[in-house]
Structure 1
Amino acid sequence: MVELTKTGIDGLDEILNGGIVKNSTTLVSGNPGAGKSILGLQYIYNGVEQFDEKGVFLSFEENEQDLREAAESIGFENWGDHVEEGNIKIYDKKELLRENDFNSSLELLLGELDGDDYERLVLDSLTMFQLFFDSEREKRTYLLKFTDILSENNLTTLMTNEQGTVFPETDIGLENFLTDGNIFLLQTPTDSGVNRYAWVAKMRKKNIDTDIFPMEILEGNGITVHENASAFSMMNDNDSPL
């Protein structure tokens, strides 16, 4: 029996058939504004609020105050309390980029990850993470090393990655193949704003629903994924990444 970690996100656990595989690393990709960071915040927050699981949030893009304001703006009102109580541990860009050396940042993290205190981790984002490295080969080597360390420490991890295109069919990087699961957050412009979608493309060790499902981001609730994909007909055969 494969152990699962529930995200607690309405609709997402259903299309994941119960949740993310425990101790795995899942890549969450999307273009700017698609909701990647919100999904990461919600995953960590729900872990504490709903499942009594502590989490670590690594942000290479925001400082701790920015993260708190972002979390509270979408209704995660206890975020600050959980940080103060140690249920959520934040490493922001000031700490992670201070030495401009990944080994130094890794040593900083290992002391915190050594033990069973934390069960969830978010890295936001790989786009900034790669600034540590001079070559694609070096980045891949350290990414593999890092994901192994996370798994050995019994952490179920989400890593965000910026996607340059609306649909990922022409912009799939090697990171997608180095991780255990791939979730794409898609958005397409409309006359009144944008339509948002979630696509779980891969999850090792389990069956998933690989259809594309509409999603929305609501103040006070965060991300909700809707299982009624047929209600949204704007995707035609030429647009679909499938």
Structure 2
Amino acid sequence: MIELTKTGIEGLDSILNGGIVKDSTTLVSGNPGAGKSILGLQYVYNGVDMFDEKGIYLSFEENKADLREAAEAIGFDKWPEYVESGDILVYDKKELLRENDFSSSLDLLLEDFQDNDYERLVLDSLAMFNLFFDDEKERRTYLLKFSDILKQNGLTTLMTNEQGAVFPKADIGLENYLTDGNIYLLQTPTESGVNRYVWVAKMRKQNIETDIFPMEISWGGITVHENASAFSMMNQGESSPIK
């Protein structure tokens, strides 16, 4: 039987048929403002708050104070307490980018990775992670190495990635094929703001709901509504206004 890690995000675990496969790496893609970082914060926070599972948050884009403000602003009030207690470990851009060398950053992290107390990890984001590398071959090699290290140390991981187009098939990168699962967060403009959707496109070893589901971001984080949306990405095509 496949062991699953629950995200604790209302509606998302249902369309994942229970959660994310334990020790897997899932890519969460979307354009700016789609909710990728919120999903990552919520995944780590819920791990401690709901399931007594400690987490590690690697931010290549924000410092610790910014992350704390973002977490508290969305309703994750115990974030500072969990960071203070060590239930959530945060490595921010100042630490991760200090040496400008991935091997040095990895050495910094390995001791915590090997600590069996930690079960969840978020890397936010791959766009900044990629700045370590000079060419595609080196980037691919290290991404595979890094993913293997995470799995070997029992970490169930979410990696966020900027999606250049909201319509995913127009902009599918190498990372989509190197990870175990792909979740897309989508936005469509409306007169009053935006409509938000989640699409779980792939999860290895797992049966999933592959429809597109409405979601919203409010106090307490992301909620996924399990009534499949009439919005069909497959019928929009590259001529869609969703770009």
The TM-score with structure 1 as length reference comes to 0.96
**Take 2:171 and 2:96, find their aligned partners in 1: how far apart are those partners?**
28
Note the 1:1-242 alignment, pairs <5 A. Answer: 1-219=1-219, 221-230=220-229, 232-233=230-231, 237-239=235-237
Alpha-carbon distance change, 159 to 234 in structure 1, aligned in 2, over 3 angstroms: closer
Read off the aligned partner of 2:116 and give its amino acid letter. D
RMSD of the TM alignment (CA)? 1.4
Write out the 4+ residue segments of structure 1 that deviate beyond 2 Å after TM superposition. 232-241
SS in 1 for 2:235: coil
SS in 2 for 1:200: strand
Query: Structure 1 regions of 5+ residues with no counterpart?
Result: none
Contact 2:28 2:183 in 1 (8 A): yes
Q: How much has 1:115 moved relative to structure 2?
A: 2.4
The TM-score with structure 2 as length reference comes to 0.96
What do the CA deviations read for 1:146-205 (whole angstroms, capped 9, x no partner)? 000000000000000000101101100010000000000000111110000000000000
Q: How much has 1:239 moved relative to structure 2?
A: 4.9
Q: How much has 1:10 moved relative to structure 2?
A: 0.3
Q: How much has 1:113 moved relative to structure 2?
A: 1.2
**Take 1:162 and 1:196, find their aligned partners in 2: how far apart are those partners?**
16
SS in 1 for 2:8: coil
Q: How much has 1:229 moved relative to structure 2?
A: 2.0
| Number of residue equivalences | 239
What do the CA deviations read for 1:53-95 (whole angstroms, capped 9, x no partner)? 0000000000000000000000000000000000000000000
Query: Structure 2 regions of 5+ residues with no counterpart?
Result: none
